[in-house]
Amino acid sequence: MSSAAVYPQTVIGPDQVMDVRPIPCSIKHGRIIQAWLDLPVGHHFILLNDHDPVPLYYQFFAQWPGAFSWEHVMRGPEEFRIKITKLRAVVAGPEPVAECTSRH
């Protein structure tokens, strides 16, 4: 069974929150990045995670400098919420690399 069947496409809720805590590390970054790429310019979502996604920030910074804003709304210890805004149109780029922390 594919991971897509077990973990359906991630949806940003009406409250603009994208809860990625139940998603396995192997597909989590790809889901987050795709959700951001799909955003219209000027829009945002709140990423909800169980750890501070620092490697994801560096991936965004390396691939799309100046195209996003990253604002911590809540910093743990159990929940981390980051407001990620799309500031300008971008090209997708290479397939994201999974980055796991010891909490996964």
CATH code of the domain covering residue 58? 3.30.110.40
The answer to the question of residue 42 being in a domain is yes
d(CA 56, CA 99): 8
Question: Is 46 a residue whose pLDDT tops 70?
Answer: yes
What would the two tokens of residue 90 be?
């971008």
Give the count of domains, the chain.
1
Model confidence at 95, pLDDT cuts 50, 70, 90, reads low
- Quote the CA–CA distance of 57 and 6 in Å, as a whole number: 26
Answer whether residue 45 is part of any domain.
yes
Binned at pLDDT 50, 70 and 90, residue 11 comes out as confident
Four-residue CA torsion sign, 84, 87, 92, 97: negative
Q: Is residue 95 part of a domain?
A: no
Domain span at 24: 16-86
